[in-house]
Structure 1
Amino acid sequence: MTSQKLSFPRQHARTQRFTLGAPRAFTVSPDETRVIFLRSMSGTDRTTRLWVLDPVSGEERIAADPDVLLGGSAEKLSAQERARRERTREGSAGIVSYAVDAAAELAAFALSGKVYVAELRAGTARALPVPGPVIDPRPSPDGRRIAYVAKGALRVVEATGEGDRALAEPEDPQVTYGLAEFIAAEEMHRYRGFWWSPESDRLLVARADESPVQRWYIADPAHPERRPAEVAYPAAGTPNAEVRLFVMDLEGDRTEVVWDREAFPYLAQVHWSSAGAPLLLVQARDQRSQRYLAVDPETGATRIVHVDEDPVWLDLFPGVPAWAPDGRLVRIADEGGARVLAVGDRPLTGSQLHVQAVLDIGESDFLISAVAGEDAVEPEIGQIHVYRVNELGIERISEGVGVHSAVRSGALSVVVSAVPEEPGTAAWVVRDGKRLVRIASFAQEPVLAARVTLTEGGARRIPCAVLLPSDYQESDGPLPVLLDPYGGPHGRRVVAAHNPHLTSQWFADQGFAVVVADGRGAPGRSPAWEKAVRDNLVLTMEDQVEALHGLADRFPLDLSRVAIRGWSFGGYLAGLAVLRRPDVFHAAVVGAPVTDQRLYDTHYTERYLGDPAKQPEVYAYNSLLTDDGLSEAADEARPMMIVHGLADDNVVVAHALRLSSALLAAGRPHEVLPLSGVTHMTPQEQVAENLLLLQV
């Protein structure tokens, strides 16, 4: 027998983009004796286990193993759990998330629809006898009880498994207690719907009523015997779910939290800690104003702590709002043209940093994630760093060129770093700046290496990544060009790390010069840069053109042969490119695109384009098609392959089908590749592998 070398497309698919086997989801115990995390056993093993590391000895042990707990049985997922994983883009199996008590002694997680608890010191795990299927179990801070959601009801059970009871049951099939509604999970990154009090005696519980939301039906044409799936999808300009909030005690007695829900319908964030009263961030529908509200748990009354307003839009950020230990409000704000960390009324950072998230709030400092701001000494293209901030100054914690993040408790941190020269990530346990132990990664080594050049292109200094074939010689001359962007809000592709560029390198090795550009609208530069696309997402395509032309005098780019590929916003961008600028772009692979902005969701689309009833011309200009056909398409037609998952409940396949119909009506040749059973993710191994091969 002869062994065949593993191809990159197959390895990329089998390893789920080289994420399997890598440690993630870290928690550091307050006593600094344990680091809890998730990891599978190999780079091709989808089953994630719960692990505990001793940071002194470096010893690791499994705290919960799905294979053992399920006795070899296959994992069963409810429809709600599948939807939750789609929102979080989770493609693994086994224990994919967990929650711990305040001491990080007890962990709770859902597995195959059941609640499990793991005693992290003892190393034992067991199921609790509760009704299911279970969603999002979370221990109380004192570790005595577990709250969870089953069939839309919020329930509580003793950690011993006794005393299970419902605190709130849905009055209607369209109502849930304790779950994040679609918009909160998909666009606000609020994935939960209940929060324990610090004293463990009460909870804040969100009630979501989806009855006002329009119904869409997603069929599986490959299985005509199956009923279409009914989904509540709040498209731009249509009603959202109605969200209310209650304080509930452990007997189920409730007090409604009162705020002006008509003016501020979005419950964006909730924070409840010992540093202050429950804290809410609520947004207006147009996302140009938001209020920070402190809640009186006894009466449900709220008082305004702070108000933010912006004429363009207001962004949401991880880790905020929160209270500092001294009771001051911690937030990230756009002030003076910069994105800053603000504590109380005082900004602690300036225009040299562009703050992205608050990672931890200590007794005397704040740990943040930030990139170089507009006034930074160096642009630091693609880099993300960790900083320690207090009233005395700013200190960079992460070291070297790369993409860094951290989790911290007390003096102990886990710093996770990805660098351009090496594949994967390195997770180090660090105490007071000294590395103690590296947490092992079982992720596979890629069969190819990314040779990426990070640079800037065009007069706007657009961040770019350029990749040439691994064996390219200058004598080979100019190469056909493939643009490989995401290119839109919330999706940064030009990063100082290795693995994010592997697919681009594979395309380069097929004979292309691959260009990735993060133009206006992409995160990581300045508020003005991100907000330049208000009412004009087409600017993202214009910046691809500027970057391409700006790089042509420094790299071997044959501008007479330019293609573009993309998925999601990148798919929209690819379609826009060949329809409106066929003089620049000569072919496109259009993956899961939003083609009619009226068909995408409220919170995302209205942030950038406003109300479709008030600005129909803005929606038409920013769409690939309207009810009348293609929107502002140039006369020249270019080849286009449209790819879309038929089970996609985020960007529904109607986008692709309507684009195909409009192209056909205009007499424009194109191809459509429907992916049966595939959602907005493409986790299926054969699909992911062949999807790369078919695009060349």
Structure 2
Amino acid sequence: MPKISTLIAFLFLVTTAAQAQEKKISLEEIWGGAFQTKGMQSLQSLNNGQEYIVQEYDRQKGEMKVVVYSYKTGKKVRTLFSSIDMRGLNFFQNFELSDDESKVILGTEIEAIFRRSTRGIFYAYDLEKKELQLIDDEPIQEPTFSPDATKVAYVKNNNIYVRNLSNNKKTQLTSDGKKNEIINGVTDWVYEEEFAFVRAFQWNSAGNQLAYLRFDETEVTEFSMDLFGSYGQFLYPQQEVFKYPKAGDDNAKVSLHCFDLEQNKSIDVDLGEYEYIPRIKWTNNANLLSVQTMNRHQNELHLQLVDVSKNSTSTIFKDTDEAYVEVTDYLTFLADNSFIWTSEKDGWNHIYHYSLDGQLKNQLTSGNWEVTKYYGYDKESKRIFYQSTESGSVNRGVYSIQLNGKGKQNLATEPGTNSASFSADFTYFINTFQNTITPPIYSLYLAKNAKLVRKIKDNQKLEKKLSRYALSPKEISQLEVNGEMLNMWMIKPTGFSEDKKYPVFMSQYSGPGSQSVANTFLGANDYWYQLLANQGYVVVCIDGRGTGYKGRDFKKVTQGELGKYELEDQAEAAKILGKYDWIDQDRIGIWGWSYGGFMASNAILQHPDVFSTAIAVAPVTSWRFYDTIYTERYMKTPQENAKGYDDNSPITHASQLDGNYLLIHGGGDDNVHVQNTMIMIEALVQANKQFDWRVYPDKNHGIYGGNTRLHLYTLMTNFILENL
């Protein structure tokens, strides 16, 4: 009897396991968050380098608090501050410590403006005195402590203010701010989107000077879009109006100024000829400000030094490129005011060390690989810490190197994606590791020798959960296309057999410097691709020419004609795949979002012999409709390069549609305007071409909120099943 029972139990387990393996992913699970990975809470290192802080919320007590933990043990050390200690503030959404960690800015009632910008009600809280101070009784932007934490500068209604926390006095530094005309201290729409920053003012180290940018938008054309709201919200559509410079049109006139708080006056800084000021940053000298300026073509970048005590300017360094120069976020001034810089000047993105007069001291990294992140400089060990593609363009490793370019150390280089977060004094770093089969693992290491201190967190529960589903591996490889070895991933159908014929669904983004083929774990779209694989599709993604991390020449070959070489690569890759015995070359589809939507549209219009089906979400359909900074960086202006704009516009090729085309857009997209889709629709109608389209009212470029993503992906899934 025991043997029979054991056999029955074994058969039951095998049967149960087999049934579990057959479980299929659903869209409801994907967009309901069933497969989310556990991450590290948004931690911040304290100055001592031995502790970090995390924002936490106790629902039972209704207590919002910031808690201090030990790096070494991971155990709670103390509570730094709590809403229970504050009178008048029970909840805060974000916080920012002062440099000396004596005070904290707390934000509440935060509302989004555009992609990165917000406004809200903010308080300053003194950690020692446990005193709470309202910074302003109206919504403000970008409140920032002075270095000694005695003052807070911020922007309200396009003007800059400073609140003195000692006497509670408020000083208005500018007075000409006006919506859609003059902006002081924060960026306009196009700077925020394309130069990726909002706060356009900086305190010097002495806290007596505030450098800031002023945007004169008067001559920039207004863009408007109607927002409809939900039923009963308002009777008439509400119009959102803001300045948006489209390719070839006038930009805001941006100028640099510096306000002396001791003398209570501002100076205008003459920077010579330029179009853009993408970065400002004080050096360690309280009177010396660094400024990066660029011409309109963005192929010349000047690093200038402004001596505010004399109001004099000198150019110390110039970076040029036949195509365009990447703006670096990694400018770092060392104790002697020499500086760290990153550049593609040798054909690959690497780290350089310059003296303050702009003379090259050393190229710290070199090789046919790219530095992808600069983590910082440790003055004690005199080492630079960085992330790079040294182990292959789809991988990321973490390294350190001496300031003289010698003594490189491998800190985290297991094949896959390694990303580090260092403690303030570079004693420790938390490494996040993942690859296509391993969800994120978080581990603490010593920075000096990469010795493991402790494992922090993994996602074994998710791995166990996924083991019950029918999943196919995401295989990373390379495909030779048009003389280049292109990175590719492929997901084959569950139960794949080379004796069958399968349709292919291609995913891509293809934008300049982007990467879609990477050795990372599954994201939301990857689960969707698994769902399609369960339905019998081969899903493929290929990074063609123009994408990133394979050197300057590979990336910038598309200059002046966005969409040409990228499309050649996607079409040729599809043809190559179509020759595989197990692929049905008559059933190849493609999709993409934003730039990827531009590409998917061009694919079905210009290569109807290759692609039978395409889905374009929020596509650019003509670069004439997109903003100045992004578009002109790669295309120059339409006045200079009309052919480049029009030859590769999907609108130009509307009459060639001969397949299944689904066009999707958000009606409230402030980035890629729904105008792109509407003009495309009109071109297709006039060409008497049938197609499908969907507009999601009031939704921005991300098309989300409530059930929107579920609805969107249900729409796309059904379209694929019906047409491919």
Name the counterpart of 2:681: 660
- Write the distance in 2 (CA, Å) between the matches of 1:460 and 1:567: 25
Aligned residues: 651
- 1:463 equivalent to 2:487? Answer yes
Percent identity of the aligned residues?
22
- Write the distance in 2 (CA, Å) between the matches of 1:403 and 1:51: 29
Alignment of 1:212-361 (within 5 A): 212-221=219-228, 225-250=236-261, 252-260=264-272, 263-274=273-284, 277-319=288-330, 321-344=331-354, 345=360, 346-361=362-377
- 1:102 equivalent to 2:99? Answer yes
Check 1:246–1:26 CA distance in 2 against 1; reply closer, same or farther (3 A cut).
farther
Letter in 1 for 2:566: T
Counterpart of 1:142 in 2: which secondary structure?
A: coil
Q: CA RMSD in A?
A: 3.3
Which of residues 150, 167, 172 is equivalent to 2:173?
Answer: 167
Counterpart of 1:426 in 2: which secondary structure?
A: strand
Name the counterpart of 1:669: 690
Name the counterpart of 1:154: 160
Offset at residue 95 of structure 1 (A): 3.2
Name the counterpart of 2:395: 383
Name the counterpart of 2:592: 566
Letter in 1 for 2:412: S
Offset at residue 383 of structure 1 (A): 1.0
Deviation readout 1:525-562 (Å, 9 max, x if unpaired)? 10111101101222112112233344567794332211
Contact 1:63 1:118 in 2 (8 A): no
Check 1:109–1:22 CA distance in 2 against 1; reply closer, same or farther (3 A cut).
farther
Counterpart of 2:279 in 1: which secondary structure?
A: strand
- Write the distance in 1 (CA, Å) between the matches of 2:130 and 2:491: 48
Contact 1:464 1:547 in 2 (8 A): no
Letter in 2 for 1:108: I
- Write the distance in 2 (CA, Å) between the matches of 1:115 and 1:646: 32
Offset at residue 41 of structure 1 (A): 8.9
Check 1:102–1:258 CA distance in 2 against 1; reply closer, same or farther (3 A cut).
same
Name the counterpart of 2:217: 210
Counterpart of 1:219 in 2: which secondary structure?
A: strand
Letter in 1 for 2:431: V
**TM-score (norm. length: structure 2):** 0.82
Deviation readout 1:464-511 (Å, 9 max, x if unpaired)? 111123x33325623211111111124311111113333333332332
Check 1:162–1:16 CA distance in 2 against 1; reply closer, same or farther (3 A cut).
farther
- Write the distance in 2 (CA, Å) between the matches of 1:642 and 1:193: 37
Contact 1:100 1:138 in 2 (8 A): no
Alignment of 1:29-48 (within 5 A): 29-37=46-54
Name the counterpart of 1:78: none
Offset at residue 128 of structure 1 (A): 2.0
Contact 1:487 1:570 in 2 (8 A): yes
Name the counterpart of 1:638: 659
- 1:9 equivalent to 2:27? Answer yes
Work out which structure has the larger RCO, using CA pairs closer than 8 Å and 6 or more positions apart in sequence: 1
Name the counterpart of 1:89: none
Contact 2:396 2:413 in 1 (8 A): no
Contact 1:423 1:498 in 2 (8 A): yes
Offset at residue 649 of structure 1 (A): 0.4
Which of residues 60, 74, 82 is equivalent to 1:58?
Answer: 74
Check 1:227–1:423 CA distance in 2 against 1; reply closer, same or farther (3 A cut).
same
Alignment of 1:536-685 (within 5 A): 536-537=561-562, 538-551=564-577, 556-625=582-651, 631-632=652-653, 635=656, 637-685=658-706
- Write the distance in 1 (CA, Å) between the matches of 2:606 and 2:350: 37
Counterpart of 2:438 in 1: which secondary structure?
A: coil
Contact 1:109 1:137 in 2 (8 A): no
Letter in 2 for 1:457: L
Check 1:524–1:652 CA distance in 2 against 1; reply closer, same or farther (3 A cut).
same
- Write the distance in 1 (CA, Å) between the matches of 2:554 and 2:32: 37
Contact 2:24 2:531 in 1 (8 A): no
Contact 2:439 2:458 in 1 (8 A): no
Which of residues 421, 424, 444 is equivalent to 2:437?
Answer: 421
- 1:368 equivalent to 2:368? Answer no
Name the counterpart of 1:532: 557
Offset at residue 256 of structure 1 (A): 2.0
Alignment of 1:477-556 (within 5 A): 477-500=500-523, 501-537=526-562, 538-551=564-577, 556=582
Counterpart of 1:356 in 2: which secondary structure?
A: strand
Counterpart of 1:507 in 2: which secondary structure?
A: helix
Letter in 1 for 2:161: R
Larger of the two Rg values belongs to structure? 2
- Write the distance in 2 (CA, Å) between the matches of 1:557 and 1:568: 28
Counterpart of 2:370 in 1: which secondary structure?
A: strand
**TM-score (norm. length: structure 1):** 0.85
Offset at residue 575 of structure 1 (A): 0.5
Offset at residue 577 of structure 1 (A): 0.5
Check 1:396–1:18 CA distance in 2 against 1; reply closer, same or farther (3 A cut).
same
Offset at residue 284 of structure 1 (A): 0.7
Which of residues 403, 406, 413 is equivalent to 2:417?
Answer: 403
- Write the distance in 2 (CA, Å) between the matches of 1:41 and 1:570: 42
